[in-house]
Amino acid sequence: MDINTLNEPQKRAVLQTEGPVLILAGAGSGKTRVLTHRTAYLIEEKGVNPYHIMAITFTNKAAGEMRERIDDMVGYGSESIWVTTFHSTCVRILRRFIDRLGFATNFTIYDADDQKTLMKDLLKRLNIDTKIYKEKMFLAAISSAKDELIGPTEFALNAAGDYVKEKQALVYREYQQALKKNNALDFDDLIFYTVELFKTDAEVLDYYQERFRYIMVDEYQDTNTAQFELVRLLAGKYKNLCVVGDDDQSIYKFRGANIYNILNFEKYFPEAVVIKLEQNYRSTQNILDAANQVIANNRGRKEKRLFTLNGEGEKIAFHQFETGYDEAEYVARDITEKVYKQGYQYKDCAVLYRTNAQSRMFEEKFVVSNIPYKIVGGVNFYARKEIKDLLCYLKTIDNASDDLAVRRIINVPKRGIGATTLNRVQEYAIAQDMSFYNALKVAEDIPSIGKASAKIRPFVLFIQAMRSKLGMISLVELLEEVIETTGYVKELEAEGTDEAEARIENIDELISKVAAYEEAEEQPTLSGFLEEVALVADIDSLEDESNYVVLMTLHSAKGLEFSNVYLAGMEDGLFPSYMSIMSDNAAEEIEEERRLAYVGITRAKENLSISCARQRMIRGETQYNKVSRFVREISPELLAGAIKKPKIEDLPMKKAYQQAKEEFRKKPFAATSYSTPKNFGTAQKIALTYGVGDRVRHMKFGEGSVKGIVEGGRDYEVTVDFDTAGVKKMFASFAKLKKI
Ligand SMILES: Nc1ncnc2c1ncn2[C@@H]1O[C@H](COP(=O)(O)OP(=O)(O)OP(=O)(O)O)[C@@H](O)[C@H]1O
Ligand SMILES: [Mg+2]
């Protein structure tokens, strides 16, 4: 490692190996780089055993990149450094010691889908009306409680006297019990239980404190209370803790990230050395200026100065399009030009957007333009039906204590086992306090199911047979045998549709993934593979060696950098979202969105393109949006392309009117059959019978509350927060809202 590749404050941060260190600095200033160099320095210059070092970061992708950089620098012994995410750190610890908390160490990890299924079942069992109390609401409440390290008992104490909270407390308790019965943990549990383990078992804590004498945390601004507590406990003995972060990039408040962790750091560790980095090495001056101008609109932030020696660079391209399709077309063309005329590669380009749904249009245009691309997020590979089915087979073979997994596949492919039979098995399992799978095993003894047990028997025998082969055959062979015996692929082949074909390809991909796992691991096990899969965050679908454009949400882009960045859908209502604009604490929510904009802008090294559309279909509704306030916060000198007011001819109602006139002129004699186009007639402003705050009913969307009314020239624009359909903005004369 050459320390002279670092600037002065970076050097100081690397050399300060002992005691707590807080590095607070803006985007692209080399925070992550400091951490990798520090690791190399500890080993090479300080003679620290790699075994005693741990580096924690936020996404698997970031951990992978960090691992690579460390491997390059350190060489021998680097594999014993723990370079991981919070979640995988906890999985590793819990796999070893969770039996001390009464779980079996081969626990299953539930993803969001599993959680939902479990919650649905639970609410049904508790007779809770999901029309009034949504499962999402319970899951969110439970998740935030866990982030704050509040367990079911404490939650119940705090809830006393509050009807909804008391209900949540009941559900929380039952939910935890159901998880425990299935020997399963959800993602938040991973952190929660590790902290609990450390707090209740001095021996385990001491073991890990001794092991991890040097701890580093990247993206510290996004840690929540539970994660902070985890780090604080781990570093409690040696106090060699170095955290790096940027308060302007804190974008996970909705997941409980706690900005006070930065402020509290100095409180918990009063001896902490604080280091600031001020030189940005990533972006051009124009990009940096734009980022700074935007973030300057947030109040109560720590003012930071960032400079760059990278030169002014290109201006920021700005384009406002008519529709999302036009926008996608432009991005496709521009990328093609960058690749064919300017010598960039596809992987130098990234399209960033606020919501996953925006990816579809880009995908369509990229397919026709022959642009290789990869969508990060959206339908995660592991969330696809066929992959989940096969994984549930593997889970059942590995650990049939997961009822959800067993129930998912008991009839897939169809075995002619009826719903009534399954319900009876379930009832029996509950009555006997056994797992669903164990109940299947003794199906013959369940009096109410009669002959149906004959259909269950082969399934149980099959699982037992596969189990007995564990360790004898490779995992690939195991998976292939599952596919063969169940006839899963055969059934798809028989279907013969394109969709079935795509599913078979995905299954092939799963087999490759199992093979890759077996190759990489010294001691591959089925549990090990399932554990790895459970932790794959969306971002992991990125493979570095391939050359493709990356499409992802702004949240997933944190910590990454690209030569060319396209920020798409920069419209008020989309980004910042209506949810934030309409929220009760809009000021705060919009500040969080603005930090997200800052993250987006600062991903760009050389070229930044910002675009938006005047009209956009969102969940089947056309919305007419203004240019995002975040774009308007950038001074016009930095932008190539002006922000124009839309011309009146371009307005949708005017267009519709003209179209109607046109049609009328063409078919003068068909006038009787002429029907008014949808957007026609807005010139007549109707008198409103409702006001902000009123409850209203819409024919399609049902009931909701009026959140805002804006008087336009021709019509009122009404924003309604529908109980089920979410927030919609609509013209009063079309919406025909009725006050209720
Ligand atoms: N002293 C330096 N000399 C040369 N290049 C540097 C130096 N410091 C950082 N860089 C480069 O600048 C870029 C940004 O660095 P890095 O990703 O570490 O920044 P960061 O502060 O972690 O950014 P973010 O806040 O976005 O996570 C990287 O390409 C890195 O290699
Ligand atoms: Mg970083």
Indicate the pLDDT class of residue 400, thresholds 50, 70 and 90. confident
Q: Has 418 been labeled as part of a binding site? A: no
Q: What is the dihedral of CA 563, 568, 574, 576, to 10 degrees?
A: 30
Ligand 1 atom with the smallest distance to the CA of 603 is 26
User: Strands 241-245 and 21-25: what pairing?
Assistant: parallel
Give the contacts of 688 (CB within 8 A, at least 6 positions apart).
Answer: 709, 716, 718, 732
Distance 227 CA to ligand 1 centre (A): 25
Ligand 1 atom with the smallest distance to the CA of 25 is 21
Q: 603 an active-site residue?
A: yes
Separation of alpha carbons 28 and 279, rounded Å = 8
Q: pLDDT tens across 688-704, in order?
A: 788 888 899 887 778 89
Q: 219 an active-site residue?
A: yes
Which protein residue's CA is at the shortest distance from atom 8 of ligand 1? 30
Give the contacts of 512 (CB within 8 A, at least 6 positions apart).
Answer: none
Q: pLDDT tens across 402-441, in order?
A: 888 999 999 988 888 888 899 899 889 988 989 999 999 9
> Considering 304, 603, 605, 707, which one is annotated as catalytic?
603
629: pLDDT strictly greater than 90: yes
Distance 218 CA to ligand 2 centre (A): 7
Distance 32 CA to ligand 1 centre (A): 7
> Considering 249, 279, 396, 719, which one is annotated as catalytic?
249
Contact, 399 vs 463, CB < 8 A? no
Q: pLDDT tens across 546-585, in order?
A: 789 999 989 889 899 999 999 999 999 899 988 888 888 8
Q: 337 an active-site residue?
A: no
Which run of H or E residues covers position 325? helix 324-341
> Considering 218, 222, 531, 591, which one is annotated as catalytic?
218
Q: Has 17 been labeled as part of a binding site? A: no
63: pLDDT strictly greater than 90: no
- Tell me the whole-structure pTM to 2 decimals: 0.74
Tell me which of 33, 37, 601 to substitute to probe ligand 1's pocket, judged by most ligand atoms within 8 Å of the beta carbon.
Answer: 33
Q: Has 256 been labeled as part of a binding site? A: no
- Angle 723-124-424 from CA coordinates, rounded to 5°: 150
Give the contacts of 183 (CB within 8 A, at least 6 positions apart).
Answer: 103, 104, 106, 107, 108, 399, 401, 402
With a 6 Å cutoff on the Cβ, whether 57 touches ligand 1 is no
With a 6 Å cutoff on the Cβ, whether 5 touches ligand 1 is yes
Distances (CA, A) of 352 to 246, 326, 362, 527: 20, 16, 11, 35
Q: In what order do the strands lie in the sheet with 738-739?
A: 726-731, 716-722, 702-711, 695-698, 738-739
Q: Which long-range contacts (CB under 8 A, 24 or more apart) does 299-304 make?
A: 299/591, 301/247, 301/248, 302/24, 302/247, 304/24, 304/25, 304/26, 304/248, 304/276, 304/278
Indicate the DSSP class of residue 563: E
> Considering 219, 248, 402, 540, which one is annotated as catalytic?
219
Q: Has 32 been labeled as part of a binding site? A: yes
CB atoms within 10 A of CB 256: 19
Give the contacts of 21 (CB within 8 A, at least 6 positions apart).
Answer: 13, 241, 242, 243, 272, 273, 274, 275
**Bigger pLDDT: 543 vs 46:** 46
682: pLDDT strictly greater than 70: no
Q: 695 an active-site residue?
A: no
With a 6 Å cutoff on the Cβ, whether 218 touches ligand 1 is no
Distance 297 CA to ligand 1 centre (A): 25
Q: Has 671 been labeled as part of a binding site? A: no
Q: Which ligand has an atom closest to residue 36 CA?
A: 1
> Considering 32, 221, 225, 553, which one is annotated as catalytic?
32
- Enter the tokens of residue 373: 């691309």
**Radius of gyration from C-alpha coordinates of the chain:** 28
Q: Has 30 been labeled as part of a binding site? A: yes
With a 6 Å cutoff on the Cβ, whether 399 touches ligand 1 is no
Q: State whether ipTM is beyond 0.85.
A: yes
Q: Has 28 been labeled as part of a binding site? A: yes
With a 6 Å cutoff on the Cβ, whether 9 touches ligand 1 is no
Beta partners for residue 257, in sequence order: 224
Distance 29 CA to ligand 2 centre (A): 8
Distance 302 CA to ligand 2 centre (A): 18
Contact, 171 vs 164, CB < 8 A? no
Separation of CA 394 from chain center: 25
- Enter the tokens of residue 519: 């190759």
Lowest mean pLDDT among 69-78, 129-138, 302-311, 654-663: 654-663
Indicate the DSSP class of residue 473: B
Of the chain, the percentage scoring pLDDT greater than 90 comes to: 53
Lowest mean pLDDT among 98-107, 303-312, 508-517, 636-645: 636-645
Q: In terms of residues, how long is the chain?
A: 740
- Enter the tokens of residue 510: 């799963």
Residue 651 pLDDT: 47
680: pLDDT strictly greater than 60: no
Q: Which ligand has an atom closest to residue 277 CA?
A: 1
Q: 249 an active-site residue?
A: yes
